[in-house]
């Protein structure tokens, strides 16, 4: 059997959720291992975060605006409302102070009060818009490096190891050295994020292949609302490698103006301050309005429309906007020029089903935190809260549990699967994994925003064809084990296929439209039947599905059913 390392808690993922889970579990006295496919604090989507909501409760109106934003505009009622209140209290009372202690600079007014962007839903940035994630994740990285957490960077978890239904560890590929090993743990925290590289244009990066979703699915965990998949509308079109540079449509620091979107005739069709004043992350409304422009022939999904800040004093934008550098690097003038945009597949609201009080999942021994979960869209603050709770509860469980040996047969099967991809052939004899990844992303991109049963089924068939015909023929350029990116791509392909198939099946189950999810064959929001967790699971080679209603203790939608393009959320 491959080498096995023992620990109390293993955390998979080094973004805001995983880093905080590891730190909090270690603070409880647990022995912790942190496995990160990229580098801790430098991978995943946490580095892209900009706006950090301040959950201001200083007046009754502020409190209502914030909860309305979280529940209605950000999660389209598919969240746990009491979780929103608990998470909001954490962000107000702990999050900013905690980060300030480790060196993150927040602007404060003369009285020492945190200075937020003035909006109905205030937010902080550190210290320019667009730079917050990089700054605070760099501080988290230093915290982890200074701790006694066992850190495995550039190491990809490949499977959750199960013993009699309980998750007892994880297999890990150290792709720098080409070594597969196992970690035996009393509790496992999954924190692999939700912004994945699953369509031709995506905000996720190359290594984000939905591994967490795929590993949980293969282990038989419940997953919910995978189809609630957000898109960004105002991301840079060219150069292609800059697709995830975002022209922030949110309320801005230092001005009450917000970025604008223009169609190919130069007509303004969206700005947050006018069209979504209550929604400071207005992405679902942006794309709905873009869909109308595309239908009218005045924009394409991949270009033909533009965004910019040219109506705002350029000096002000340069002072507060990290993204001003994008204009400069493209040789453009932020006070005058607009940038052509395309849509990008963005964050998934759905994911692994969790109980939001302790972040347990449907599988014993497995916890999940942050973007990989189904309970809230995400954001650096919310996922940090999840990490904190999951880390503490996982450490507590580990303290009271005996260790279970890893079942040799399960580990051996994974060893065979992972090393089985190491085979070469001439380039024209078989497809390379990177080509299969490109094909999967193209299938999801072609499906795009406007869906219906026929198109969903066609995408599912196309994925099945990749699984049946391409995967068995995958070969690599080399069987070298160290830094063999083709090998890692092959493993990624299997995760992408599982995650995309589950997403499409989940989409076929949901017979309505909501938030970022638009089915033209069900073009209405149906609160009577679909205000629920739309749950999917694969076990014994079969797909299972069911729904669970979502409680509405504080806020309810006014209408049981309304046309999708008329709903304001």
Ligand X SMILES: Cc1cc2nc3c(=O)[nH]c(=O)nc-3n(C[C@H](O)[C@H](O)[C@H](O)COP(=O)(O)OP(=O)(O)OC[C@H]3O[C@@H](n4cnc5c(N)ncnc54)[C@H](O)[C@@H]3O)c2cc1C
**Which residues make up the interface to ligand X (CB under 6 A)?**
12-18, 35-38, 43-46, 48-52, 133, 156-157, 191-193, 195, 203, 207, 211-212, 244, 246, 347, 370-371, 378-381, 383
Q: Which is nearer to ligand X, 400 or 420 (CB)?
A: 420
Minimum distance, C-beta of residue 383 to ligand X, in the bound complex (Å):
4
Q: Which is nearer to ligand X, 349 or 470 (CB)?
A: 349
Q: Which is nearer to ligand X, 496 or 535 (CB)?
A: 496
Minimum distance, C-beta of residue 121 to ligand X, in the bound complex (Å):
12
Quickly tell me which residue has 């749950």 as its tokens.
535
Quickly tell me which residue has 């990066």 as its tokens.
205
Q: Which is nearer to ligand X, 37 or 201 (CB)?
A: 37
The helix-helix angle for 433-447 and 485-509 (nearest 10°) equals: 20
In 256-362, alpha helices (H): 272-275, 283-295, 314-320, 324-329
Nearest alpha-carbon partner for 156 in 497, 487, 499, 500: 487
400: CB partners within 8 A, 6+ apart: none
CA angle 128-240-50, nearest 5°?
Answer: 20
Say which DSSP state 192 is in.
-
Minimum distance, C-beta of residue 346 to ligand X, in the bound complex (Å):
6
Quickly tell me which residue has 């800059």 as its tokens.
242
Minimum distance, C-beta of residue 526 to ligand X, in the bound complex (Å):
27
Distance CA 454, CA 543 (A): 20
Backbone region of residue 102 per phi and psi (left: phi > 0; alpha: psi in -120 to 50; beta: other values): alpha
Distance CA 18, CA 557 (A): 33
Minimum distance, C-beta of residue 232 to ligand X, in the bound complex (Å):
7
Half-sphere exposure of 469 (CA within 13 A, CB side): 8
Minimum distance, C-beta of residue 11 to ligand X, in the bound complex (Å):
9
Q: Which is nearer to ligand X, 255 or 547 (CB)?
A: 255
Backbone region of residue 448 per phi and psi (left: phi > 0; alpha: psi in -120 to 50; beta: other values): left
Q: Which is nearer to ligand X, 191 or 354 (CB)?
A: 191
Q: Which is nearer to ligand X, 245 or 564 (CB)?
A: 245
Buried b (16+ CB within 10 A) or exposed e, 541-566: eeeeeeeeebeeeeeebeeeebebee
Q: Which is nearer to ligand X, 133 or 335 (CB)?
A: 133
Beta bridge partners of 123: 53, 117
How far from chain centre, in Å, is Cα 41? 15
For 173, phi then psi, to 5°, come to -105, 115
Q: Which is nearer to ligand X, 142 or 559 (CB)?
A: 142
Minimum distance, C-beta of residue 140 to ligand X, in the bound complex (Å):
10
Quickly tell me which residue has 């001439």 as its tokens.
426
Angstrom distances, CA of residue 279 to CA of 249, 284, 306, 568 = 11, 10, 21, 10
Nearest alpha-carbon partner for 257 in 114, 118, 69, 121: 118
Q: Which is nearer to ligand X, 45 or 567 (CB)?
A: 45
Buried b (16+ CB within 10 A) or exposed e, 354-367: bebeebbbbbbbbb
Distance CA 542, CA 332 (A): 54
Beta bridge partners of 117: 123
Q: Which is nearer to ligand X, 44 or 448 (CB)?
A: 44
Nearest alpha-carbon partner for 389 in 146, 86, 132: 86
Minimum distance, C-beta of residue 83 to ligand X, in the bound complex (Å):
15
Q: Which is nearer to ligand X, 49 or 308 (CB)?
A: 49
């Amino acid at each position: 059997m491959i080498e096995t390392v023992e620990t109390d808690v293993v955390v998979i993922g080094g973004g805001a959720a995983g880093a905080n889970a590891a730190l909090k579990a270690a603070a409880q006295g647990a022995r912790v291992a942190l496995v990160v496919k990229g580098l801790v604090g430098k991978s995943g989507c946490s580095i892209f975060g900009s706006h950090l909501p301040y959950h201001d409760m200083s007046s009754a109106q502020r409190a209502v605006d914030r909860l309305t934003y979280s529940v209605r505009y950000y999660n389209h009622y598919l969240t746990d409302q009491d979780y929103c209140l608990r998470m909001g209290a954490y962000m107000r009372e702990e999050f900013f102070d905690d980060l300030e202690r480790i060196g993150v600079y927040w602007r404060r007014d003369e009285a020492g009060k945190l200075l937020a962007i003035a909006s109905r839903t205030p937010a902080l940035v550190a210290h320019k818009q667009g730079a917050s994630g990089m700054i605070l994740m760099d501080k988290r990285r230093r915290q982890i490096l200074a701790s006694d957490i066992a850190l495995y960077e550039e190491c990809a978890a490949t499977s959750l190891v199960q013993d009699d239904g309980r998750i007892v560890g994880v297999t890990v590929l150290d792709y720098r050295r080409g070594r597969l090993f196992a970690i035996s743990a009393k509790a496992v925290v999954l924190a692999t994020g939700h912004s994945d590289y699953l369509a031709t244009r995506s905000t996720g990066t190359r290594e984000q292949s939905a591994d967490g979703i795929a590993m949980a699915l293969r282990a038989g965990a419940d997953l919910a609302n995978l189809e609630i998949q957000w898109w960004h509308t105002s991301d840079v079109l060219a150069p292609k490698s800059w697709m995830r540079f975002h022209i922030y449509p949110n309320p801005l620091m230092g001005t009450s103006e917000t970025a604008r979107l223009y169609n190919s005739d130069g007509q303004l069709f969206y700005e947050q301050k006018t069209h979504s004043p209550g929604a400071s992350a207005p992405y679902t409304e942006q794309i709905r309005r873009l869909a109308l422009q595309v239908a009218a022939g005045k924009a394409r999904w991949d270009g033909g429309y533009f965004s910019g800040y040219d109506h705002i004093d350029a000096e002000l934008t340069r002072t507060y906007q990290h993204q001003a550098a994008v204009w400069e690097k493209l040789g453009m003038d932020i006070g005058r020029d607009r940038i052509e945009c395309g849509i990008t597949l963005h964050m998934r609201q759905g994911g692994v089903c969790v109980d939001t009080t302790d972040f347990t999942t449907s599988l014993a021994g497995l916890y999940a935190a942050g973007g990989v979960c189904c309970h809230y869209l995400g954001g650096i603050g919310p996922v940090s809260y999840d990490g904190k709770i999951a880390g503490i509860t996982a450490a507590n469980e580990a303290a009271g549990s005996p260790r279970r040996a890893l079942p040799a047969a399960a580990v051996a099967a994974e060893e065979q699967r992972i090393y089985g991809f190491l085979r070469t052939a001439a380039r024209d004899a078989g497809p390379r994994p990177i080509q299969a990844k490109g094909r999967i992303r193209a299938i999801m991109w072609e499906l795009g925003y406007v869906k219906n049963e026929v198109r969903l089924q066609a995408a599912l068939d196309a994925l099945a064809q990749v699984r049946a015909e391409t995967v068995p023929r995958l070969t690599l350029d080399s069987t070298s084990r160290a830094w063999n990116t083709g090998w890692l791509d092959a493993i990624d392909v299997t995760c992408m296929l599982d995650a995309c198939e589950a997403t499409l099946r989940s989409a076929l189950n949901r017979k309505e439209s909501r938030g970022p999810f638009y089915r033209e064959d069900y073009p209405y929001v149906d609160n009577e039947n679909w205000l629920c967790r739309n749950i999917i699971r694969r076990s014994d080679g079969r797909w299972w599905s069911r729904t669970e209603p979502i409680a509405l203790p504080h806020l309810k939608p006014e209408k049981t059913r309304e046309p999708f393009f008329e709903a304001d959320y």
